[in-house]
Structure formats: C-alpha cells, structure tokens
C-alpha cells in the first residue's frame, strides 16, 4: 500500500495479513484496540506494549526514523505499515526495494483518520469492529456540533522550541492542513496560526526576510516568534508532551517571553498528552473525551 496527499491507496489482499510490522505507534495501538494484535510480528521502540498472547513473539525493531531494516526483512512480513510524517522516505523506499509491501498512511484531518480505520477493518476482515468506528463517527459529529455552538477558544500549541543564534526564542506550531489542527478544532479550539504557512529558510520564517520557493518542502509547520504570538493573543497555550517534551524550564521561559498574552495573564498555560493531538486511529476516541473540557474551561 502507498499513500499521499492526505489519502491512502489500498492494495488488494486476498486474505488478511498474518505477519505485520508497524512503524507507527498510533497504528499499532489501533491494531491492538481492534483485536488484531495477533498479526503483529514487529513494532518500533515507541509503540505500545502488545498484550499477550502475541506479546512474546513481537520484535522491537528500533525507532520510527531509523528502524533496523535487516531485522524487518528477517521477520518476513506480508505488510509493513508506515506513515509519511513519522517515517522517512528512504526507509519506505528501501523496504519496497527489498520486495516488501508498504502501506504509507498520511491523515491530515479527522476524516482521513476515520478512513484509515475503515480500511483496517476491511483489510483485516474484522466486520465486528465496525460498530466501534460508527460510534466514533457519531462522537465526532456530536463534538463538531458542540464546538460550532460556542465562540471557540483562541489556542496556541507549540510542538517544538528552539532559539536563534542570538538566543532569541522561537516555537514551531501547525497550521490548518494538519490532523492536530482538526482535533483541536473539534475540541472547541481556534488555532491562532491556522493560516500561517512555513517559510524557508529559517530567517524568512522568523523575520520576514525574502523567502525561497518551498518546492516539495512541508509548509504546514511554521516557526513563530514572540511578537507573532503576542499579536495572535491566544487565550490558552497547550504544551504537548510530544514530539517535543516541554519541561519546567521550557514552560518558565515561555511564560516569561509570552507574559503579555491573555493565556499567560489568565494562568492558562497547560500541559497536555501530545498523543491526543497527533496519534490518529483509535486514540481519537480518548482525544474527544478529554480535550474539549480542557480547551473550553477558560475563566
């Protein structure tokens, strides 16, 4: 299988895959939740623990960016599950060159993520799981309606932190063309950088210097400055636990740098489980259960 442009393309399998390597933690979790973990023979070091009886026969094959390819080949999988953002293109191409079928997922919104779940049901011949996905769809619809009924909370959610060579802080965030944005929106949050594209090089992103044509480079994750964030006036700042683990020092520096924002003045700088925003798949159900109350409780 291969995929791109926010969609997946499903190859025809005459039977459910019996030996699967998952390079995507959220997909590993979905396979476990949908009761097909017995098909897993290999997962990354960051994937959830596979429950027994399958756990004893599942190999850990390294990280998402640099899995041990020889180990994967030795497992003789009939399917490798990858993700366009979490796994490198070179890894996928190398696996395909070795004759392994690879399914590359790339959900950029909740609708895409639900489509992937339906494809899992079809691929693994598990119609019994359909009721669960239908319930999830109803929950998404309800959450959309609830979010639309209110004014929405202005949210800034950084996913990385760094600084320039002159020690000026900046943060990376996401725009509307991402799964995280869609999850935040359905929780009642208004992404203050929804319309901000990433510019290249870094100087263009941070200072307004002349930008290069991005070409095939990803423009969905802009890097923003203190001035931009203050101007955007977020009422809530969420600090996710991944992909960047914001520690106490990071939070203290952010609070000091952004002290003029409503969020800091109101004491609305909150830590959040990053997987609720970034893990597509069955984790969406937990995100819908936890995020709306977190986002919408603004003094």
Same domain, 107 and 214: no
Q: Which CATH number do you get for residue 55?
A: 3.40.50.1980
Worst-scoring range by mean pLDDT, 150-154, 202-206, 244-248, 257-261? 150-154
Query: Which pLDDT does position 259 carry in this prediction?
Result: 97
pLDDT of 6 > 60? The answer is no
Q: What percent of the chain lies above the pLDDT cut of 70?
A: 95
As a whole number, the mean pLDDT across the chain is 92
Average pLDDT rounded to a whole number, residues 244-267 = 95
8 Å CB contact between 232 and 171: no
Same domain, 67 and 192: no
Same domain, 39 and 171: no
Query: Which pLDDT does position 167 carry in this prediction?
Result: 85
Same domain, 162 and 120: no
Question: How many Å separate Cα 169 from the centre of its chain?
Answer: 24
Helix (H) or strand (E) holding 227: helix 226-232
Worst-scoring range by mean pLDDT, 32-36, 75-79, 162-166? 162-166
pLDDT of 13 > 90? The answer is no
C-alpha R_g of the chain? 20
Q: What phi and psi values does residue 240 have, to the nearest 5 degrees?
A: -75, 155
Same domain, 163 and 291: yes
Same domain, 165 and 292: yes
Same domain, 68 and 185: no
Using one digit for the tens of pLDDT, what is the confidence trace for 200-240? 999 999 987 899 999 989 999 999 999 999 999 999 999 99
* Angle CA 109–114–120, to nearest 5: 130
Question: Dihedral angle at the C-alpha atoms of 88, 91, 97, 101, nearest 10 degrees?
Answer: -80
Q: Confidence class of residue 18 from pLDDT cuts 50, 70 and 90?
A: very high
Same domain, 221 and 268: yes
For the chain, the residue count is 299
Same domain, 74 and 193: no
Q: Which domain holds residue 203?
A: 150-296
In the chain, the number of structural domains is 2
DSSP helix, strand, coil percent of the chain (3-state; round to 5): 40, 20, 40
pLDDT of 1 > 70? The answer is no
Domain boundary among 141, 170, 193: 141
Same domain, 257 and 198: yes
Domain boundary among 108, 123, 141: 141
Query: Which pLDDT does position 4 carry in this prediction?
Result: 43
Q: Where are the beta strands (DSSP E) in the chain?
A: 2-4, 7-9, 20-22, 40-43, 59-60, 79-83, 102-105, 153-156, 160-163, 169-172, 189-191, 223-225, 236-240, 269-272
Same domain, 239 and 262: yes
Domain boundary among 141, 165, 199: 141
Q: For 141, how many CA atoms within 13 A lie in the half-sphere containing its CB?
A: 6
Query: Which pLDDT does position 7 carry in this prediction?
Result: 39
**Greater confidence, 295 or 54?**
295
Q: What percent of the chain lies above the pLDDT cut of 90?
A: 85
Same domain, 104 and 184: no
Helix (H) or strand (E) holding 250: helix 248-257
């Amino acid at each position: 299988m291969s995929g791109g442009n926010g969609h997946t393309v499903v190859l025809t399998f005459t039977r459910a895959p019996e030996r699967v390597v998952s390079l995507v933690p959220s997909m590993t979790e979905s396979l476990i939740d949908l009761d097909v973990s017995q098909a897993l023979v290999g997962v990354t070091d960051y994937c959830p623990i596979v429950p027994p009886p399958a756990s004893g026969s599942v190999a850990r094959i390294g990280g998402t960016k640099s899995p041990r390819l020889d180990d994967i080949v030795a497992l003789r999988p009939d399917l490798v599950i990858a993700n366009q953002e979490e796994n490198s293109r070179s890894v996928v191409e190398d696996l395909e060159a070795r004759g392994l079928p690879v399914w590359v997922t790339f959900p950029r919104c909740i609708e895409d993520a639900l489509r992937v779940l339906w494809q899992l049901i079809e691929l693994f011949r598990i119609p019994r799981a359909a009721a669960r996905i239908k319930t999830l769809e109803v929950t998404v619809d309800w959450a959309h309606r609830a979010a639309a009924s209110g004014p929405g909370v202005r949210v800034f959610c950084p996913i990385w932190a760094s600084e320039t060579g002159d020690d000026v802080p900046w943060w990376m965030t996401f725009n509307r063309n991402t799964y995280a944005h869609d999850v935040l929106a359905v929780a009642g949050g208004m992404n203050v950088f929804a319309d901000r594209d990433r510019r290249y090089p870094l100087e263009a992103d941070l200072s307004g210097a002349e930008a290069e044509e991005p070409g095939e480079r990803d423009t969905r994750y802009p890097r923003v400055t203190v001035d931009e964030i203050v101007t955007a006036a977020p009422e809530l700042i969420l600090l996710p636990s991944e992909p960047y683990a914001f520690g106490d020092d990071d939070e203290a520096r952010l609070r000091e740098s952004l002290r003029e924002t409503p969020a800091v003045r109101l004491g609305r700088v909150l830590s959040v489980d990053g997987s609720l925003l970034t893990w597509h798949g069955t984790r969406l159900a937990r995100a819908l259960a936890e995020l709306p109350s977190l986002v919408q409780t603004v003094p």
